Amino acid sequence: MSNEVNKIEYVSYLEHQGRFKGLKSWIFATDHKRIALLYMYAIAAFFFIGALLGLLMRFELIAPGETIMKAQTYNGLFTVHGVIMIFMVVIPGLSAVFGNFFLPILIGAKDVAFPRLNLFSWWIFVFGSVLAVASQFLKSGPPDTGWTFYAPYSTTTGTSVIIATTAAFILGFSSILTGLNFLVTVHQMRAPGMKFFNMPLFPWAIYATAWIQLLATPIVGITLLMLIAERLFGIGFFDPNLGGDPVLFQHLFWIYSHPAVYIMILPAMGVITEIVPTFCQRKVYGYKAIALSSLAIAGVGFLVWGHHMYTSGMSENARWFFSLLTFIVAVPSAIKVFNWISTMYKGSIDLKPPFLFALAFIFLFIIGGTTGLILGSVATNIQVHDTSFIVAHFHYIIFGGMGFAFFAAIHYWLPKMYGRLYNFRRANIACIIMFIGFNTLYFPQFVIGIQGMPRRYFDYLPQFQTGHMISTIGGVILIFGLFYMLINLIKGARKGPKAPANPWNGSTLEWQIPSPPSLENFDEPFEVKANPYDYK
């Protein structure tokens, strides 16, 4: 971007001395960049806990019969794994970390619209997360319902469902407040001269995501309150014995939880849209199509929840209607993939680690999206419903999508966040190891799912052992790659060589200011006059 930002003597946000010292200067900070790092440290810790729990499940499934744990322990484990990964990692992940850090910078603002509300959102997130973890250690035992808390089992089981659902309810408040903050920031805090259609595309993705956070999250909050009320007071919302309807719970849950998939994936798409033009040194192809496709995904995503429920007894008309909408919502996602590939065409491609992770994302997301169309079709969905095929599809979208985009983002923006560089060769090796491990772990799940392997089962028939054995080996490879990447990033952030202000020759605003940024990002007023992807 040919927007010159005057550079004067500055103190980075990491060195700034405010009202508090030491730890208090972080946990009571209202600077959006410090809050972003607080989110990142918490989310990274939860992610590795969830990943290790997933590896324990894989060790249990390495052979038929009881291997390292009992069935009830396994049920609790996959519930804990799901709650941590969905509510404490994937949903807040990219928005809370990179949205917080870079949304204001990319639109030329000094901070988000409501800095104190931003800090309050983080404290709510921490409180909800602590409560969720605590629910796993209570006397009644960890919840064993799965992360979906399906009724009527969740209304009758004797495990710690109330604490876990209360935690999810509290975490929802953090999501709502963050979304509200980002919406106001985009509308009110853009730099002079920056119109909507010359914003970078990552803010567009965060903007679309924020609408989903604001409008969809209250639905799941109300649903969880109804579940808690039924358990505490015997109100018959979902339990048929009390006059309730368990299918109502599924409708209410998925009206939120399918849009929640786009809370996870839209920021990931925004990250990839920033990385691809930078490492191809080309103006992004189809800027307006990518921007509007983010809004289209957010809008149509509210209307497709029924494809999770084809086997629940809905009418034939409802099934074909939801199937049609599922195929329609795939169109704006396909537009993004087409535009990323078109941007690469005839570009000066530089295979640095962020771009390698972006390529991995595109490959894995295409597999996840294509198998999503298989599930969107009623006939094929009914055959593979509640099998390992669903597990594989879900992880290709969520981990292959949001996860690899998060890794791409941290490798792309770490030099700006910490002012230091990591080892590129080790980062590339980590990416390749994780890519191999991920596909070895999850692709066999497609195969055994088609063969009839049910998901969430503690035991299975001997005919599925080969697939589970390969998956477990893939899980070990993936975990090794994750820790290898983590060590390289920590070494880079702490002791790596100092990063220049613009190590990737990027054109957006964050690359026009020093690394790491100052407290208020921009020390002099400026006006945006150019396209955000103005590569010469």
- DSSP designation for 312: G
Q: How confident is the model at residue 20 (pLDDT cuts 50, 70, 90)?
A: confident
Q: Whole-angstrom Cα distance, residue 87 to residue 256?
A: 13
* Mean pLDDT calculated for residue range 434-439: 98
* Mean pLDDT calculated for residue range 410-435: 97
| Cα of 293 vs its chain's centroid, Å | 18
User: Which of 501, 505, 504 is closest to 517 using CA atoms?
Assistant: 501
User: Which of 206, 209, 200, 334 is closest to 276 using CA atoms?
Assistant: 200
Tracing tokens 């579940």 back to the chain, one arrives at 227
* Mean pLDDT calculated for residue range 138-147: 88
* Mean pLDDT calculated for residue range 204-209: 97
Q: Whole-angstrom Cα distance, residue 123 to residue 391?
A: 32
* Residue of higher predicted confidence among 197 and 17: 197
Token representation of residue 371: 């198998």
Q: How confident is the model at residue 22 (pLDDT cuts 50, 70, 90)?
A: confident
Q: Is the pLDDT confidence value at 6 over 70? A: no
Mean pLDDT of the chain: 93
Domains along the chain with CATH numbers? 24-512 (1.20.210.10)
Q: How confident is the model at residue 5 (pLDDT cuts 50, 70, 90)?
A: very low
Q: State the angle between helix axes of 287-300 and 316-344 in degrees (0 to 180), rounded to the nearest 10.
A: 160
Q: Whole-angstrom Cα distance, residue 95 to residue 267?
A: 6
Q: Is the pLDDT confidence value at 199 over 60? A: yes
Find out whether 455 and 386 touch, Cβ atoms under 8 Å.
yes
Q: Is the pLDDT confidence value at 352 over 80? A: yes
pTM of the model: 0.95
Find out whether 164 and 88 touch, Cβ atoms under 8 Å.
no
DSSP of 201-266, one letter per residue? Answer: HHHHHHHHHHHHHHHHHHHHHHHHHHHHHHHHH---SS-GGGT--HHHHHHHHHHHHHHHHHHHHH
* Mean pLDDT calculated for residue range 270-293: 95
CB-based contacts of 394, cutoff 8 Å, min separation 6: none
Q: How confident is the model at residue 21 (pLDDT cuts 50, 70, 90)?
A: confident
pLDDT of residue 136: 83
Q: Whole-angstrom Cα distance, residue 284 to residue 342?
A: 8
In DSSP terms, which residues pair with 387 in a beta bridge? 454
Q: Is the pLDDT confidence value at 8 over 60? A: no
